[in-house]
Structure 1
């Protein structure tokens, strides 16, 4: 067969539509330039996504953005007018300033419900809103009434800056995934939603406010995944009793956590970057970490590393973690050293360690739990962790610059890592597009190549 033969030209349009449906909506639209056969294929895909980010440029003037948003709305109007498929699976709509196009917003949502969409994503949040700001923003759009009537067909729902009536969620009995963001919501509404959605498996809350506390204690819930992302929980108290999570992510301030019976936990992410002061809350994080003991994959932040050793047990957990893959989001500042040691000592089965280097909140009033010399801490003078010697096989360093602190840690891991098989250094892209800084960082990696290696099988890659 001729290698230059276009195999797609022999396929029927029905099959091309299926192929295009595996692409993102933006990529599917680009297929119209391939040939006349592909010209209108993208218009028949089952996953539709109207995203103003593909039209509106935030770095341009407000006047230009206004014109670009008009073009975006006209695009959506024409697509809906020319769409001939009877059913669509999912519809996404992102528009940060819907006020001037409320009728169009209503029509787009009606287009989804009238075509029996099982997934609906409505995002009216403004990308200029700061996630770490204290200021809260009122929802700019209200969920149309016909969505509640269509609720039984929905399996996934996302509502960002979109007000809704929780008491009308009784019709959403088929929903498995729910994401709520940038809205005023209280714990009572959360509990009503949980009672109304018995099949709910994933709940994500992002930048929600007016939550006095967060508690889930209903028996029989199917909830497996919980994400609380920078929500304003007034009393910083979270209690979970009943659901057995597989994935748990928390981003916010340090508070009191009670997560009972989490033996099914697979992955957890902890980010306390919103904590503004170094306080004596190490015991809270100690207890939380102990409750996440079953997680095989764990990610922690710089604030966590600075605070966790300040509890009653500064050297490590009494009951070890089962974590096999550990990611440390860190600046590799000396304030984090005791926390890094704490995590290594608490993870005797650790196989993969990822050190993700980047900017972090470093507390000026930090006090170490015990006196140490930054260089000697990574030497024989301190007890070497069991996982470093026996189980650690892969170390990834992202954002490598070859600073002195980075070299201390890498020399330590190579010197004692008898089981190590891979060390992957991903040079930082920081410093502009000319590549000069990256070339310098790549050069610093040559120092690591000269370190003593306890493992004869370790390979070092500089990327």
Structure 2
């Protein structure tokens, strides 16, 4: 067969539509430039995304943004007018000014429901809203009544800055994934939703407010994934009894957590960056770790590392964690040293350590559990963790700049990591790929290559 033959030219349009449907909507639209055969293929794809960010440039003037938003809405209008598909899989609509186009918003949602859409994503939040600010923003759109009529056709639903009637979720008995964000919602509505959606496997709450607390205790729930992202709880209290999670993510302030019988946990991500004060809450984090003991992948933040040694056991958990892959979101500040030691000691089966270096909230009133000299901390003066000497095989460092603290930690891991097989340094791009800063960081990385290595089998990469 001629190598120059275009294999796609022999395929029927029906198959090309299926192929294009696997592409992101923006990329599917770009296929129209390939040939006449592809000109209208993208208009019949099963997965549709109307995203204003592809049209509206937030760094331009309000007047320009207004014109760009009009172009975006005209594009959506023409698309639904010319679409002949009887069934679509998913539809996403992202528009931060829905009030300026109420009829179009209704028409787009009606288009989705008339095609028995299985996944509906409606995001009316404003990109200018800050996730870490205290201010709450009222929802700017009301979920159209025809959405509730989808019944068992709907499997995935995302509502951001979109009001809804929780009592009507009884129609959504087939939903498996639900994401709610930027809305005023109470625990009563959450409980009502859980009771109405027995097949729900994933629940995500992002920047929701007016929540008294979180309680998930209904027997028989299939919930496997729970994400609580920067929600405003009146009481920082979370109670889980019944569901056996595989994935748990929490981002917010430190609170009291009770997650019973989480033996099937695969991954947990903990981010307490919204904690504004260094308080005596280490015991809460200590108890949370014990309840996440089964997780094989664990991500913790800088605030966690600073607070965790202030609990009852400053040197590590009495009961070991099952963590094999530990991810530290850290500034590698000396305030975090005891917390890093705590985690290395609490994960005796650790195989992979990722040190993700970036800006962090450093508490000025931090008090270490014991007096120490930061420059001598990563040396034989302190007991070397069992995980470092016997099980740790791979170390990844992201955002490497070669600071003194980074070099201390890497020397320690190489000096005592007898089982290490890989060290991968991902050099910081600060200043650009070709900037002087990056060249300096690359030079520091070369120093690491010369450190003494306890393992003869370790390979080192600078990327």
Bin of the TM-score, shorter chain as denominator length:
over 0.9
- Number of residue-to-residue matches in the alignment: 463
Deviation digits for residues 294-340 of structure 1 (CA, Å, limit 9, x no counterpart): 00000000000000000110000000000000000000000000000
Aligned to 1:430: 430
Aligned to 1:364: 364
- Aligned partners of 2:176 and 2:201 also within 8 Å: yes
Aligned-pair CA distance for 1:149: 1.0
Aligned to 2:444: 444
Q: Does 1:160 align with 2:160?
A: yes
Secondary structure at 2:233 match in 1? coil
Aligned to 2:396: 396
- Aligned partners of 2:432 and 2:438 also within 8 Å: no
Aligned to 1:328: 328
Aligned to 2:317: 317
Secondary structure at 1:210 match in 2? strand
Give unmatched runs, 5+ long, in structure 1: none
Q: In 1, distance between residues paired with 2:408 and 2:17?
A: 55
Q: In 2, distance between residues paired with 1:114 and 1:261?
A: 43
Aligned-pair CA distance for 1:151: 2.8
Aligned to 1:43: 43
Q: In 1, distance between residues paired with 2:308 and 2:159?
A: 35
Aligned-pair CA distance for 1:434: 4.3
Aligned to 2:16: 16
Aligned to 2:254: 254
Aligned to 1:378: 378
Secondary structure at 1:150 match in 2? helix
Change (3 A) 1:350 1:155: same
Deviation digits for residues 399-435 of structure 1 (CA, Å, limit 9, x no counterpart): 0000000000000000000000000000001124642
Aligned to 1:237: 237
Q: Does 1:213 align with 2:206?
A: no
Task: Report 1:27-176 matches (<5 A).
Answer: 27-176=27-176
Q: In 2, distance between residues paired with 1:225 and 1:239?
A: 15
TM-score, length-normalised on structure 2?
Answer: 0.99
Q: In 2, distance between residues paired with 1:368 and 1:210?
A: 35
Give unmatched runs, 5+ long, in structure 2: none
Q: In 2, distance between residues paired with 1:122 and 1:100?
A: 16
Secondary structure at 2:188 match in 1? helix
- Aligned partners of 2:325 and 2:353 also within 8 Å: yes
Aligned to 2:415: 415
Aligned-pair CA distance for 1:152: 2.0
TM-score, length-normalised on structure 1?
Answer: 0.99
Secondary structure at 1:317 match in 2? coil
Deviation digits for residues 180-202 of structure 1 (CA, Å, limit 9, x no counterpart): 00000000000000000000000
Q: In 2, distance between residues paired with 1:434 and 1:102?
A: 47
- Aligned partners of 2:46 and 2:90 also within 8 Å: yes
Q: In 2, distance between residues paired with 1:151 and 1:440?
A: 59
Aligned-pair CA distance for 1:5: 1.3
